[in-house]
Amino acid sequence: MSIPSRLRAKHRIASMAMTALLTATLGLTGCSSMGTHTQPTLYSQLGGEKGISQVVNAFVLNVSHDQRINARFAHVNIPKLESQLTAFLCQETGGPQVYTGPDMYAAHKGMHITNAQWTAFMTDFELTLKQEKVPQLQQAQLLGLLEPMKSEIVGK
Ligand code: HEM
């Protein structure tokens, strides 16, 4: 083999290797960017901001009828609470919204929320999820997301 044709052969092998590498790389990124292996967020499973705000509005209505805790919300700006709670839940479930309000400790500091009030609030929330026909799995995921916040909210 003459020197130039050896070089051409080397070049051919190198470019074949590059093509193989590119194909593999594109194949891999293509796979994840097409979402083949990515799970939908809880946010999208709940119907995004529209679905979540619907749950929040129904929840606040349920709380307003609940004698165990409605007095706590008597002087609260309800439309503002609804929009804050919606933004918070959108953010926590993986949505693009950014909740800019106080953290859960700061938001409930000085309220001295009792265990019984916490349970009433969470029971109303669960009832609302059922009323709004949120599937069982997403109900459990959402409640599981809220449960650990108890230590920041109760008795502060
Ligand atoms: C995981 C459970 C809870 C979550 C995620 C939550 C979330 C929130 C959020 C996001 C706000 C708005 C904060 C702001 O913008 O200033 C808020 C306010 C409030 N929360 Fe909660 N909360 C929870 C439990 C409770 C419980 C158990 C009670 C009482 C029974 C309660 C009573 C209130 C009240 C009265 C306000 C209004 C404060 C005000 O505007 O003056 N929350 N909560």
pLDDT digits 0-9 by tens, 92-121: 999 999 999 999 999 999 999 999 999 999
Q: What is the pLDDT of residues 40-78, one digit of tens each?
A: 999 999 999 999 999 999 999 999 999 999 999 999 999
- Cβ–ligand 1 contact at 149 (below 6 Å): yes
Spatial neighbors of 59 by CB under 8 A, at least 6 apart, are 85, 124, 125, 128
Provide the residue ranges of all domains of the chain, joining segments of one domain with +.
1-38, 42-153
- The residues, any chain, with a CB within 8 Å of residue 68's CB and separated by 6 or more, are 116, 117, 120
- Residues 6+ away with beta carbon under 8 Å from 87: 97, 98, 99, 100, 101
Indicate if the alpha-carbon torsion angle 91, 97, 103, 109 is positive or negative.
negative
Fold of 42-153: Globin-like (1.10.490)
The predicted model scores a pTM of: 0.82
Residue 59 burial class via C-beta count within 10 angstroms: exposed 0-12, middle 13-18, buried 19 and up: buried
- Assess whether the C-beta atom of 121 lies below 6 angstroms from ligand 1: yes
Can you tell me which atom of ligand 1 is nearest the CA of 150?
A: 1
- DSSP character for 47? T
What residue's CA is closest to ligand 1, atom 42?
Answer: 108
